[in-house]
Structure 1
Amino acid sequence: MTTAAADTSTLASTEPGALPPSITPAALRRLADRVTTTPGAERVTTTAPYTGAPLADLPVSTPSDVEEAFTRARSAQTSWAAMTIGERKRILLRFHDLVLARQHEALDLMQAESGKTRRDAFLEVSDIAITARYYANNAAKLLAPRRRRGAIPLLTHTTELHHPKGVVTVISPWNYPLSMAAGDALPALMAGNAVVQKPDTQTSLTALWALELMHEAGLPNGVWQMVIGRGSSIGGALMAGADYMMFTGSTDSGRRIARDAGERLIGASLELGGKNAMLVLDDADISRTADGAVAACFPSAGQLCVSIERLYVPEALLDTFVAAFAERTRKLRLGAAYDYSCDVGCLTTTAQLETVTAHVEDAVGKGATVLAGGRSRPDLGPLFFEPTVLTGVTPDMTLYNHETFGPVVTIYPYRDLDEAITRVNATPYGLNASVWTRNGPRGRAVAARIRAGTVNVNDAFAAAWGSIDAPMGGMGDSGIGRHGAEGILKYTEPQTVAHQRIQGFTPPAGIPHSLWAKVLTTMLKTLKRVGAR
C-alpha cells in the first residue's frame, strides 16, 4: 500500500479551499465528456462544498440516453464475457497501479466534490487498490467450475458453473465517491458483466475519473458506462434495462428499488442506512478507547455508512471516558485544505447541513447537553459543522433513533452488559458496530450477540472493511447483499450441470418398479451407515 508521502499535489493558492492545479477546466471537460448523453443535453452545475463556488458543468442524461447505454453495454458485454479471466485480471491490476500512481488526481477530486479531508480521501484510494487486487487475484478461484455431490455416488457427475448476469446497474452515493462507485463496479466487471452506472451528480467526477483509468488500463469501450441525472427522471430506465441492481443509499429508496426489482424478478443488492453503536466494556483501556471513538465517529465528517453515532459506556467509567473523548473531540482540526493538515472536513450538501443542524437543535431544545461542538462554522465555509458530542439524549429527540449522517455522536451510560446489548440492538438498522475491551475472546463473544452485519473489536470499522475476503453488508433496514467473496458471486447466475452415467433412478429394462424401489431403499440405508454426505 502506498503512503501519504506519495501525494505530490500542491495548492494553487493559500486561500482555504482553493482548487488545486490538477483540477483545470480542460480536465473537467474531459471527464464530463465520458457521460453517456446526446448532443445538446441539458447541463447541471455542481458546487465545491468547501467554498460553495461552482465546480463542474455536467451533461444530464435522459431516459433515452440510458436506454442507449444499455444497448451499447449489451453489445460490448458479449465479447467482454468471452475474454479469459486472466485477460480481465490484467486490466484490473493495471487499474490498481494507475490508481496508486495518480492518486493525487483522485484525492483532489474527492476533496473538491465532497469536502472530506485528504486523509479520508486516501482511505478510498487504498480501499480501491485493495478491492481491485482482491477481485483480480481471486476471481479465477471464486468463479471456477465446482464439483458438487451427485445424487448417486460415482454415477452422477455434477458441476456448478457461474455465468455473468449480463448488464448490471450500479447506483452509487456521494459520500464515498470512489469506494462506492468503483468498488461495486469492479467485481461486476471481473465476473464478465457490463455496467451502466449512475453516480450521484455531486460526486460524479470521481466516478468518471475511475472510468477513465479503467479505459487506460485496457477496458473495452461500452463495457462500463456512466449516466447522470435524478432518480425521478432516469431511475425507471435504469431499472428497466438491468439484469441486476446494485444500490447504495437511503433505506426508503432501497425499499422502492427492492419492490421494483421484485416486480421484474431480478436480483438486487442494497447497502442502506445505519445507526451504528459502539459498546465500551468495563475493562476497556480508556485512552485507547477514546482515540478509537474519535476515529469511529468523525471520518468524512460523519458521512460514512459504517461510522458510529451511538456510544454505550459503563456507569463506572462514564465520567472518565466522557472527559477523555470530549477533550479529543474539541482538539480536532476542522478546515479546508488539499493536504493532510486537517482532521475533519465539511459536510457535502446543504441538505445534509440542514439535517445535522436540525437534529442537534432539536436535542438541545429538549434538554440534551453539548460536551463538544454543537454549531455550524460559516467562518470556515458554508457547510462546516463542528464535531459534536451529546449526552442526556432521550427517545423523544429526533436523533435518538434516526440516522444523522454527520459529525454528531450521543453517549449513553449502562449498568450491566445484558442491558447494554439490548439497547445496542434496539434499532431497525444493523450495519456496523464496535466493541472495546482488553479481553479479546470476551470482546468477540459480545460481538457475536450484536445484530449487525459487521462488528469490530477494538477498532471502529476498518478491521472489517479491510477484511475484503469476508462478507460485509447490513441486516434489517440496513439492506441485503454482501461484499467480499459474495460481492462477485452475486453478479453471476449459478448453473448446475448434472451428467448421469450408466444408471439413474429409473429401473433397468425388465426390472419391476417394486423391486427397484427395494434396491434403492437398501442403497440409501447403506449410504447413511457409511456416512455418505
Structure 2
Amino acid sequence: MVDAGRATGGRDGLTAGALAGHRRGAMEMSTDPLTHDPISRPPGARSSEEVAVLDLCTAEVLATVATHSADEARALLRAAAEAQRPWAREGVRARASMVRRVTEAMVQQADALAEALQRSLGMCRFDALVREILPCVDAGQWYAAEAPAMLADLDVEPHLRSHRRGEVRFLPRGVVAVFSPWNAPLAEPLTLVFEALLAGNAVVWKPSSLALLPALRAREIAVREGLAAELLTVLVGEREAGDAIIDAGVDLAVTIGSKNAARRVASRCAKASVPSLSSVAGKTALIACDDCDVERAARAIVAGRFVHAGQRRDTVERVIVHASAAGELTRRVIELAAALRVGDPWREAVDLGPARHPTRATLLRVVTEEAMRMGATLSLGGEAMHRGGEGSWFNPTVLVGVNEGSRAAREILHGPVLPVMIASSNAHALSLADDGVGGPFAYVFTESADRAAAMADGLRASVVLHDDVFATEVAVDAPMDAAGPGAAGTLHGPDGLARMCRAQHRSVPSLALPARDPGWPPYSPLREQVAIRALRTVFGRHGVVGRLADLF
C-alpha cells in the first residue's frame, strides 16, 4: 500500500505536513495486497499477468492487481451463481439492510475512496466526494428504502377470465454483469450494483482497466461490511474475460460507456441469448436561449465542461447559444475558465487535473486547429502543458463560432476543450442539439419554463435539465431511457429496478373448476357457433363492450 503521507503540497490552507497527517492511512485501510487479494479471485486461482495501477500525475505505482483469465472469469461466474441462491432467499428487506450498511461504511471510508479517485484518475477531491461518492451512497440508501415497495407482488385481476386471480412476482435474474468505463468510476456503476443486489442478484462488475482502484476499494468495503465475497466480484482483465462471462451465460449484462462498447457487448449477448441493457454517452449539448440568465448559464457551462477535465459522461460537450446572447455569455465563460487552476489534484489546490489518456493532448490540439481552420475563434487556451506522469495536460480551451461539421462539434473530446456554436434562433439551436450525435443528456437554459418544456419535447435525450448540469446526479430515482446510437432499455427508477428481475405472472383459479373445460378439444360445430356468437355479442360493433364504452 502506498503511504498517503507522501503528499508534497498543501491545499485549502493546509501545510504539507498537516495534509499528510490528515490523509495518512486513507489508502491503507486494507492489509491485503491487491496482487493476491483473496476475495477477488476464485479459490486456488493463479494468474500469470498483473496490471499496475499508477498515479496519473506522477506515474508512481499505487498497486498491482492480478488479472483474471477467461477460465478464471468463468469460475467467478459459477461461484457468483452459487452464492446468489441463498442471497435471493434472504428477502428484499434483509438485502436492503445490507446495502444500507455498505453505504454507511462507504461514508466512513470516504477518504480512501476519494484518494483512489484522485490519484488514479486525476479527479479533484471535491468532485470525488460530491460527484462520485455522494451520488452512489444516496442512490444505495434511496433504493434500499424504496425497493421493498417497488418489488412487492402485484395483484392482477383478469378482465376476461374473472374466475381466476393472479399476481406478478419480481424474481431475481441470477448473476448480473456490469460493464463500466473509466470516466464513470463509481456513482453510475455502483448504483446499478446496488439495484442488482437489492433485486436478489449477484454481480460481476467489470470496470475499465483504467478505473480499477476505486472499484476494488468499493468492493473491499462491501465485503468487510459482511456482504458475501462472491456476491460482488470485480473482474480484472481485458476483453476476453468479459466475453467469457457472457458466453458462459450470465443472466443480464448492463453496459455504460461508448456506443462502440455497448454495441460490441450487445452483439456478444445476442449470440449467447443473454439479455442486455445499455446507456451510451453522446455529444451532450447545453442550449442557452436568448432569455437565459447569463451569469448562471456561464457558471454552469464552465462547471459542466471543465469538471474532471471535461471527461464525465454527462459533461457539457458543446454549447449552442442564441446569437443575441452569445457575446455577453462567451465573455463571461472565458473570464471564468481563465481563472481555473490546473494541476495535481492530490498534491495541489486546483480545479482540474490531467486528462486520463497520455495522447489526449495531441488529439485535442488537432481538433482545435481543425476547428480554427473551419472558422472558429480560439478565445482561450489551446496549448498542452508539459508536466509528466501518465496523464495528458491541456489548458482550459474555449472555441467560439465552431462549425457544426467539425470534429469539435461532433466528437466526444474527453478533455478541457469547450466548443461554442452560435444559433440564429432558439429553433435553430434545438435543431443543432438534436442532430443525431447527442446522448441521453441535454441541458436547456432559459427563464421561461414553458420554453424549456417545449424544447425538451423536441429533444431525443432521456434526461433534460432546465437551468442545471450534471444529469446523472439527479436521475437515479427516475427512469433513464436509452438514447443515442447503440443504447437499449431503461435504467434506474422503478422500471430500471424491475429490469433487474424476471417478472413472473402466477394465475390460480378462484373457484373449483370442472374436469372438462369448454375451451378444450374435442370441438364440435355447435361449440364453434357458440364461440362466434359470443365473440360478436361481447366484442362486435354493437356488442356489450362497445355499448359500455359509449356510456363514458
Task: Please confirm whether the aligned pair reaches a TM-score higher than 0.5, indicating the same fold.
Answer: yes
Paired amino acid for 2:7: S
Structure 2: gaps of 5 or more residues: none
Asked if structure 2 preserves the Cα contact closer than 8 Å seen for 1:273 and 1:478, the reply is no
1:265-344 counterparts in 2 under 5 A? 265-338=273-346, 341-344=349-352
1:188-337 counterparts in 2 under 5 A? 188-231=196-239, 233-241=240-248, 242-337=250-345
User: CA deviation digits over 1:474-521, x for unaligned, max 9?
Assistant: 412162232222332111111222234457873999984423543454
Give the Cα–Cα distance (whole angstroms) in 2 for the partners of residues 25 and 515 of structure 1.
Answer: 79
Q: CA deviation at 1:287?
A: 0.9
Give the Cα–Cα distance (whole angstroms) in 2 for the partners of residues 43 and 417 of structure 1.
Answer: 53
Asked if structure 1 preserves the Cα contact closer than 8 Å seen for 2:34 and 2:66, the reply is no
Please tell me the root mean square deviation across aligned C-alpha atoms, in Å.
2.8
Identity of aligned residues (%): 25
Name whichever of 173-182 and 186-195 sits farther off.
Answer: 173-182
1:494 counterpart SS class: strand
Give yes or no for the alignment of 1:415 onto 2:424.
yes
1:336 counterpart SS class: coil
1:518 counterpart SS class: helix
User: CA deviation digits over 1:401-449, x for unaligned, max 9?
Assistant: 1111222221111112222211111123332110001112321221221
Residue 460 (structure 1) aligned to one of 445, 469, 472: 469
1:21 alignment counterpart: 24
1:108-507 counterparts in 2 under 5 A? 108-122=115-129, 123-152=131-160, 154-231=162-239, 233-241=240-248, 242-338=250-346, 341-364=349-372, 366-379=374-387, 382-395=391-404, 397-462=406-471, 465-477=473-485, 479-481=487-489, 482-501=491-510, 506=519
Q: CA deviation at 1:340?
A: 9.2
Give the Cα–Cα distance (whole angstroms) in 2 for the partners of residues 263 and 151 of structure 1.
Answer: 38
Give yes or no for the alignment of 1:48 onto 2:51.
no
1:480 counterpart SS class: coil
Give the Cα–Cα distance (whole angstroms) in 2 for the partners of residues 25 and 501 of structure 1.
Answer: 61
Give the Cα–Cα distance (whole angstroms) in 2 for the partners of residues 74 and 264 of structure 1.
Answer: 17
1:308 counterpart SS class: coil
Call closer, same or farther: CA 1:414–1:348 in 2, change over 3 Å: same
Give the Cα–Cα distance (whole angstroms) in 1 for the partners of residues 432 and 271 of structure 2.
Answer: 36
Give the alignment's TM-score, normalised by structure 1. 0.91
Call closer, same or farther: CA 1:435–1:95 in 2, change over 3 Å: same
Give the Cα–Cα distance (whole angstroms) in 2 for the partners of residues 499 and 294 of structure 1.
Answer: 59
Call closer, same or farther: CA 1:24–1:421 in 2, change over 3 Å: closer
User: CA deviation digits over 1:333-392, x for unaligned, max 9?
Assistant: 222233894221221221444433432243345553221221222248652222211123
1:72 alignment counterpart: 79
Give the Cα–Cα distance (whole angstroms) in 2 for the partners of residues 340 and 135 of structure 1.
Answer: 36
Paired amino acid for 2:519: T
2:64 alignment counterpart: 57
Give the Cα–Cα distance (whole angstroms) in 2 for the partners of residues 340 and 140 of structure 1.
Answer: 45
1:36 alignment counterpart: 41
1:5 alignment counterpart: none
Give the Cα–Cα distance (whole angstroms) in 2 for the partners of residues 238 and 512 of structure 1.
Answer: 53
Name whichever of 274-283 and 149-158 sits farther off.
Answer: 149-158
Give the Cα–Cα distance (whole angstroms) in 2 for the partners of residues 441 and 26 of structure 1.
Answer: 51
**Number of residue equivalences:** 523
Q: CA deviation at 1:528?
A: 4.3
2:40 counterpart SS class: coil
Asked if structure 1 preserves the Cα contact closer than 8 Å seen for 2:456 and 2:464, the reply is yes
Call closer, same or farther: CA 1:469–1:59 in 2, change over 3 Å: same
